[in-house]
Structure 1
Amino acid sequence: MARRKRRVPREPVEAAIEGMSHEGRGITHVADKPVFVDGALPGERVRFQYVKRHRRRDEARLLEVLEGSPRRIEPRCPHYGTCGGCSLQHLSPEDQIGHKGEVLAELFEHMGGVRPEQWLEPLTGEPWGYRRKARLGVKFVPAKGDRVLVGFREKMSPFVADIGECHVLDPRVADRLGELSELIGGLSIRARLAQIEVALGDEVGGLVFRNLEPLSEADRAALVAFGQRTGLYVYEQPGNESTIAPLWPGDPVLSYELPEFGVNLRFEPSDFTQVNGDMNRRMVSRAIELLDPAPEHRVLDLFCGLGNFTLPLARRAAHVIGVEGAEPLVVRGRENAERNGIDNVSFHAADLTADVTGRPWLGDGVDRVLLDPPRSGAAEVLPNVARLRPGRIVYVSCGPATLARDAGILVNEYGYRLSAAGVMDMFPHTAHVESIAVFDRD
């Protein structure tokens, strides 16, 4: 039997906002049913309109603030509220990070049944122009005078937002949105170019154009000319990520520095790297300071990627073992180690969501463990980590709910103490919570 679609009321509703969700939306209740109002703040009286209805909750967009909160500020970007690239510009950066800390504390208590012995000072940086990695939508719209839109998706919509500026993107790309629109508008496949992947390093950056049809020679010439004029590397992607190929220059090199540790890391545009270069440097420094490796220590770095923590740790420890599920990143890690003259590391490919009992790299014991899992967390590998009995574990997380869950496992099942925890503002003006936690064995 088909499920009956719930009618979305068209009439605006007035309500008082009672709280704030983990995603930064205001919460009210209508007929005892929670309604999440995008853009509303606790203590406000607002007018909103429903956009989606669910069995247990509804979603709405803000129409008007009737009585504002003293915490509300004027968003910097004129496209805020339409563009989905940001969700918290109506809060100051200080209030944003405060909210993220509250989210983490609540999740620790309710999902993990734990509380840190110490709260670390929030790690913050420049809140504007920080975004080095992004996926920009591209859409040719005849109804807008044959214009090509380049930007993030609209809020609660699959459509590309019509934006002329962006204050969170790195200026090397943000300042060229109009130029990119004109460039693509002049291509023969302007209606068949789906997105642009942004991947910027410290010195230079790359743009990957996802072309659904082959580029003509004139298209290639136009893209190459754009790259030469702007200094941005240009790639095409006619299929999946394995088809990414440079158009200009012939042998591009993307990289970023971790100067405190004398490390330079090269990466490919499809590789995972942190969105915020400045905050990544601060995060690596904090993680290694908290892990506190001694010169005689063996350190295990799980979900190590291309060596973002592994290689700096090798500057402090006797030996570091990096383990990662994606084989291309393992190869990149080995290349980065060789390029930086670091020979006290080893990289291994393994699915860390599967049973890794008996793997050789688990056999010789470790003194410290660093975990940097994806949003799904590290629950599957925690039994193996616990069997190694490291004196300290530092857990870097992009998913506060799974960090809280895993903290409960480490504390309540394996006897660790949650010594310290805190948030890091890797994604200012969004609801994304990056955090770090320290676990010690007595």
Structure 2
Amino acid sequence: MSPVALIESLDHEGHGVAHVEGKTVFIDGALPFETVTFNTYRKKPSFENAQVLRILKESHLRTTPRCPHFGICGGCSMQHMEFTGQVAAKQRVLEDNLARLGNVKPQMLLPAIYGAPWGYRQRARLSVRHVAKKGGMLVGFHEKRSSFIADMTECHVLVPHVAQQLPALRQLVAKLSIFDRMPQIEVAVGEWVTVLVFRNMEPITPEDEAHFKAYADQWGVQIWLQPKGPDSAYPLYPLDAPPLSYTLPEFAIEMPFRPTEFTQVNHAVNRVMVERAINLLDPQPGEAIADMFCGLGNFTLPIARRGARVLGMEGSRQLVERAFEGARHNGLAHLTDFAVANLFEMTEAWLAQLGRFDKMLIDPPRDGAMELVKSISASDAPSRIIYVSCNPATLARDANVLVNVKGYVLKGAGVINMFPHTAHVESIAWFEKP
């Protein structure tokens, strides 16, 4: 007989959390307030991972998934949960991490940032594989907990004009001479052009090129090829397409980018996030501000637009070069400077050499910014730090240092629902020096 569990909450990956016979059980497909039976697929001494079998009592948060591939495709994990419930669950994950891992509590909860629940994804990496048993070419995301590619014919989180190309992309790759040597297609949607980057592990033939050109003309996209690493990507056709870019209208900024460079997946929510971060930071003319992990300058250029002097630091030389180009493109080169630096190896002496900053914005990858926050001098610290995070656990860890070691106050924190229907939690936190 299958065990029964009462679901108490969701974890940071969207699994239902229950306690059964003194052990924590994380149950895929279960929602808070539900009573379910489950089947365990991984046992550890202190916890188990399981899959829901039957729902004995259904949550008021449960809804019918929109996509027929939900439950198989690993692209989404929360379509079975009502949209506003997803946002609330992510807020609770953030609060729990701050309290449990960071020993901190924000003075206020910032309003959640969210946008359209469907058709939001403007960046994607689609896997490609020929699987004879499934009828030929597969193009899509991986299945849940698997290296197999989901047999997808539709997707409701990709922007619609890309999602409707999924069957056509399968047909295109099947025609190519290197159909079995093309493992992925990267999608990048800009303001004026949509780029599809095909990872070709062998050179294409003239016939392949003709197929690509016909596809580009039919669907109104630009085709790029990537024979080796991301830096090797180049446009194939058409060569006169407008450059990729996204805009931040609130700051009159256009950000050019290459299709293999990191940009936010959800451009609409990114605009609101940048506006929130800049309003919290409140840059003033004459202030010196540091933008750590600056990337292309997503926050650097809006800070400069407000009149402050900004130093952007980033580990990738290519991104720093693109940030310089973006500053020149937007007429902000006189207020910005950029430097290549491994911020995961920051020291207090190294940070002090950069000079004093009135304020700081930190937007690190999932690993967080531990060495950076440890390096902030207690005597000459920025008066305000805005921290944009894509991992609530590392945000909480770093907040512990900022509040309990460096003497900052956590004025506010809130979630950013950058990836609806997934368990991914982005957030923003505001630290102030008393």
**Shared fold, TM over 0.5:** yes
Q: Is the counterpart of residue 427 in structure 1 residue 416 in structure 2?
A: no
Deviation at 1:201, TM superposition (A): 1.3
Deviation at 1:190, TM superposition (A): 1.4
- Which residue in 2 is equivalent to 1:349? 340
- CA–CA distance in structure 2, aligned partners of residues 125 and 164 of structure 1: 25
- CA–CA distance in structure 2, aligned partners of residues 321 and 37 of structure 1: 45
- Which residue in 2 is equivalent to 1:43? 33
- Which residue in 2 is equivalent to 1:297? 287
Alignment of 1:301-316 (within 5 A): 301-316=291-306
Answer whether contact 1:321 1:361 (CA < 8 A) is retained.
Answer: no
Task: Name the CA shift for 1:356/1:366 in 2 (closer, same or farther; >3 Å).
Answer: same
Q: Is the counterpart of residue 177 in structure 1 residue 169 in structure 2?
A: no
Amino acid at match of 1:348: A
- Which residue in 2 is equivalent to 1:285? 275
Q: Once structures 1 and 2 are overlaid, which stretch shifts more, 213-222 or 266-275?
A: 213-222
Alignment of 1:229-244 (within 5 A): 229-244=218-233
- CA–CA distance in structure 2, aligned partners of residues 360 and 26 of structure 1: 42
Amino acid at match of 2:159: D
Deviation at 1:385, TM superposition (A): 3.3
Alignment of 1:114-133 (within 5 A): 114-133=104-123
Aligned-partner SS, 2:156: coil
Answer whether contact 2:374 2:401 (CA < 8 A) is retained.
Answer: no
- CA–CA distance in structure 2, aligned partners of residues 271 and 260 of structure 1: 23
Answer whether contact 2:351 2:376 (CA < 8 A) is retained.
Answer: no
Task: Name the CA shift for 1:327/1:44 in 2 (closer, same or farther; >3 Å).
Answer: same
What is the aligned counterpart of 1:197 among 186, 201, 217? 186
- CA–CA distance in structure 2, aligned partners of residues 110 and 283 of structure 1: 26
- CA–CA distance in structure 1, aligned partners of residues 187 and 255 of structure 2: 18
What is the aligned counterpart of 1:370 among 361, 364, 371? 361
TM-score, with length taken from structure 1: 0.93
- Which residue in 1 is equivalent to 2:140? 151
Alignment of 1:31-70 (within 5 A): 31-70=21-60
Identify unmatched segments of 5+ residues in structure 2.
none
Amino acid at match of 1:228: D
What is the aligned counterpart of 1:168 among 154, 157, 160? 157
Amino acid at match of 2:217: Q
Task: Name the CA shift for 1:223/1:381 in 2 (closer, same or farther; >3 Å).
Answer: same
Q: Is the counterpart of residue 406 in structure 1 residue 398 in structure 2?
A: yes
Q: Once structures 1 and 2 are overlaid, which stretch shifts more, 422-431 or 29-38?
A: 29-38
Aligned-partner SS, 1:112: coil
- CA–CA distance in structure 1, aligned partners of residues 122 and 391 of structure 2: 20
- CA–CA distance in structure 1, aligned partners of residues 23 and 171 of structure 2: 47
Q: Is the counterpart of residue 337 in structure 1 residue 327 in structure 2?
A: yes
- Which residue in 2 is equivalent to 1:222? 211
- Which residue in 2 is equivalent to 1:21? 11
Deviation at 1:170, TM superposition (A): 1.2
What is the aligned counterpart of 1:385 among 376, 379, 395? 376
- CA–CA distance in structure 1, aligned partners of residues 317 and 383 of structure 2: 29
Task: Name the CA shift for 1:99/1:233 in 2 (closer, same or farther; >3 Å).
Answer: same
Answer whether contact 1:116 1:420 (CA < 8 A) is retained.
Answer: yes
Q: Is the counterpart of residue 99 in structure 1 residue 101 in structure 2?
A: no
- CA–CA distance in structure 1, aligned partners of residues 71 and 385 of structure 2: 40
Aligned-partner SS, 1:385: coil
Task: Name the CA shift for 1:144/1:299 in 2 (closer, same or farther; >3 Å).
Answer: same
Answer whether contact 1:299 1:317 (CA < 8 A) is retained.
Answer: no
Amino acid at match of 1:287: A
1:52-79, CA deviations, whole angstroms, 9 ceiling, x for partnerless residues?
A: 3334322222333232112111111111
Aligned-partner SS, 1:294: coil
Amino acid at match of 1:355: M
1:79-132, CA deviations, whole angstroms, 9 ceiling, x for partnerless residues?
A: 111111001111111100101111111111111111011111111111111111
Measured on the aligned residues, the alpha-carbon RMSD in Å equals 1.8
1:212-254, CA deviations, whole angstroms, 9 ceiling, x for partnerless residues?
A: 3322221122112212222222111222222212211336521
What is the aligned counterpart of 2:128 among 120, 125, 138? 138
Amino acid at match of 1:72: R
Deviation at 1:18, TM superposition (A): 3.9
Q: Once structures 1 and 2 are overlaid, which stretch shifts more, 198-207 or 266-275?
A: 198-207
Task: Name the CA shift for 1:144/1:18 in 2 (closer, same or farther; >3 Å).
Answer: same
Q: Once structures 1 and 2 are overlaid, which stretch shifts more, 354-363 or 60-69?
A: 354-363
- CA–CA distance in structure 2, aligned partners of residues 385 and 271 of structure 1: 29
Answer whether contact 1:236 1:245 (CA < 8 A) is retained.
Answer: yes
- CA–CA distance in structure 2, aligned partners of residues 49 and 177 of structure 1: 33
Answer whether contact 1:75 1:90 (CA < 8 A) is retained.
Answer: yes
Answer whether contact 1:257 1:265 (CA < 8 A) is retained.
Answer: yes
Deviation at 1:187, TM superposition (A): 1.1
Aligned-partner SS, 1:52: strand
Task: Name the CA shift for 1:414/1:16 in 2 (closer, same or farther; >3 Å).
Answer: closer
Q: Is the counterpart of residue 266 in structure 1 residue 256 in structure 2?
A: yes
- Which residue in 1 is equivalent to 2:73? 83
Amino acid at match of 2:401: I
Answer whether contact 1:38 1:61 (CA < 8 A) is retained.
Answer: yes
Amino acid at match of 2:392: P
Aligned-partner SS, 1:185: helix
Task: Name the CA shift for 1:118/1:365 in 2 (closer, same or farther; >3 Å).
Answer: same
- CA–CA distance in structure 1, aligned partners of residues 258 and 57 of structure 2: 49
